[in-house]
Amino acid sequence: MTTRAPGDTLRIGIAGFGKIARDQHVPAIAGCERTTLAAVADPAGGLDGTPSFASLDDMLREADIDAVAVCTPPQIRHDVALAALAAGKHVLLEKPPGATLGEVDILSRTAERAGLTLFATWHSRHAPGVEPARAWIAGRKLRAVRVTWKEDVRRWHPGQAWIFEPGGLGVFDPGINAFSILTRILPAPLRVTEATFRTPENRTAPIAADVRFAAADGVVVDAALDFRQEGPQTWEIDVEADDGRLVLSAGGAELAIDGGAISLPPEGEYADIYTRFADLVATGQSDVDPTPFGLVADAFLMARTETVDAFHDPAEAGKR
């Protein structure tokens, strides 16, 4: 393992080069003065102008990298991250940090024993409206919280059948973003009290879900999640307090208080993530918060399941 000084550039290899890696990780790494993209590993192909490898093993063996950003489907993140740690590399995990809570615990313990940084990212916590929302909520008496998180899976995950397989989370792949915000802005811990899943007859994971949480301070939180929304997409958290109302929308990029829009800086979720990663590596720390993932796991434990019509994605047929 190479020790990095605070001013050193962190050389990163991306494992798994799909949509999220191309759309978010590549530009964020390029835009951060303290990171550089040094390699890509994916059997389906890499990035022009960047050393690219057909396998993780080849990248770990041949590339000049300090860290690995794991952007594979969650079902294989544990094995990829474990191999990177074994090779002496720091690891950044896309959300969710694995397929199970047990996997995350193993990775956390392994990184600690090796003296390496492990960063389980929650990109939605870095949305510009999250911290102002947290500050407004602090000290207020809350009445109710409502989450509406509805998007079109065909638009955001075209042809990605893994998302409906065991470990893929189904609608909780985006829904966990809402839970990551809730666990940041609300002052009291949450527990799942009820859940209803709607699972297509030809899939394993839910395409829609309703979840109710109870906070330790008595506040009830209701979440409605749906992967079938067409037209405008909805990512909203509505907080009602005794003395006002806050609405965090567009996934945390927009904030309104008592109906008035609050001025916010531009979005920079992944840029913040890579700055944070560089800080963690430079100071020899890790950041692994499994709380949002635990809420998803509890929802699966508490859920009543309803079978709904089969779901078909034309983009999957194109991959066969």
Catalytic residues: 95
Measured between alpha carbons, how far is residue 119 from residues 21, 28, 94, 317 in Å?
16, 16, 9, 35
Q: How far apart are CA 249 and CA 255, in angstroms?
A: 6
Measured between alpha carbons, how far is residue 315 from residues 50, 154, 196 in Å?
28, 8, 28
Please give the span between the terminal C-alpha atoms of the chain, in angstroms, as a whole number: 41
Q: Taking a C-beta distance cutoff of 8 angstroms, is the pair 198, 210 a contact?
A: no
Structure tokens that stand for 220 in this block: 């009830």
Q: Which residue, 187, 182, 176, 175, is CA-closest to 145?
A: 182
Q: Which residue, 58, 50, 53, is CA-closest to 42?
A: 53
Which strand (E) or helix (H) includes residue 27? helix 26-31
> Residues 206, 211, 215, 221: what is their CA dihedral angle, to the nearest 10 degrees?
130
Q: How far apart are CA 296 and CA 76, in angstroms?
A: 18
Which residue do the tokens 């899976």 mark? 153
